A and B are shown apart, each in its own frame.
Chain A
């Protein structure tokens, strides 16, 4: 990791944190502002107020530079440089690609399954056509005047229906095995997700060590590290993780609201 360079603003100096930094300069600046106010000169007032604010900003820059330097030194001292470089440079991009792949696997499998379900629906429709044909054959058997030729034509019809049913049930069976095969993506995606979970744990561990090394330790280690931003959606509920409503809760809540 290359050294972090923070551009220092001109005139910035390190201050003793026990005293007000640049005390004399603040007094001068405030006097200038007061003079401008008393003279009722808005342009001069604005410009002098600007001076005061820049003086304050300079102090902030100094503190920021100091913090950055300390953080960098802490990382270097703990030999985290290489580990963080590895995580940020290789493992996170790699994990993102793997997760994209998992999302695609799931989507492909869902579409394949839905295609097979659509085809199966059509096959089931053709089976109900078969039963209609058989019903009409049954009615005709019960009628009088069954000649030999008529009987053999009827037998032919029934036989054709039999073979149609045989064919359709074979196709349905094949669809069912394809549907169950399409679920094998879950094995692959499960393995990939577990690898990514391990990586996230590693990152969490490294960050906690870093926090402990640079601060007085975690002030509140049980607080969730990432809070949902206002306006951000909570997304799918994960059992045991997020407090969320079930369909029954939602129904009860809507009923309370008069729905």
Chain B
């Protein structure tokens, strides 16, 4: 797993962005950028060469699920790994996210250990597939 990979953190709450950023830094990933919703994230993803996206679901402007669908529908971005970190905890929603092609799903509130576990799992799969 490349610790220098470029990660985009998408959440409308600046405190949550800071928390995710700090947790990622503790895990050794410090090459992070932030966006406050899908609309802000989209142009950054188009030009930014990101390796990984951590996104909330419920955001004004453009939600995380719409961002995920946009990523999967884009020729250049379609295989970008996306981890959903959200307070949405209905079974239907988890199924929707899975159908839309999410790579991991974390329910808020969450712990550093959960974040690490999901990241490890996602990259194991990516490395196995590579």
Contacts and interface: CB of A to CB of B under 8 A. Distances in A.
Interface in A116-145: 117-118
B98 interface: yes
B107 A247 contact: yes
Given A235-B88, A247-B106, A257 B95 contact: yes
B110 interface: yes
Interface in A209-259: 233-237, 243-247, 249-250, 253-254, 257, 259
A253 B91 contact: yes
A162 interface: no
A250 B105 contact: yes
A254 B103 CA distance: 10
Contact of B58 (A117, A235, A244): A235
B94 A253 contact: yes
Give the most central of A117, A236, A249: most B CB within 10 Å: A236
B14 interface: yes
B125 to A, nearest CB: 9
A15 interface: no
B58 A233 contact: yes
A107 interface: yes
Dominant SS among interface residues on chain B: mixed
A245 B98 CA distance: 14
A236 B108 contact: yes
A182 interface: no
A250 B107 contact: yes
Contact of A234 (B18, B63, B89): B89
A165 interface: no
A254 B105 CA distance: 8
A110 B15 contact: yes
B72 to A, nearest CB: 15
B22 interface: yes
A114 B98 contact: no
Contact of A111 (B15, B94, B110): B15
Contact of B15 (A114, A118, A245): A114
B27 interface: no
Interface in A56-93: none
Interface in B98-128: 98, 103-108, 110, 114
B47 interface: no
28 contacts: A107-B13, A110-B15, A111-B18, A114-B19, A117-B22, A234-B89, A234-B90, A235-B58, A235-B87, A236-B89, A236-B108, A237-B107, A245-B89, A245-B90, A245-B91, A246-B89, A246-B107, A247-B106, A247-B107, A247-B114, A249-B91, A250-B89, A250-B105, A250-B106, A250-B107, A254-B105, A259-B98, A259-B104
Given A233-B58, A247-B106, 15 more contacts: A107-B14, A111-B15, A111-B18, A233-B88, A234-B89, A234-B93, A235-B88, A236-B108, A243-B90, A245-B89, A245-B94, A250-B89, A250-B94, A253-B98, A254-B105
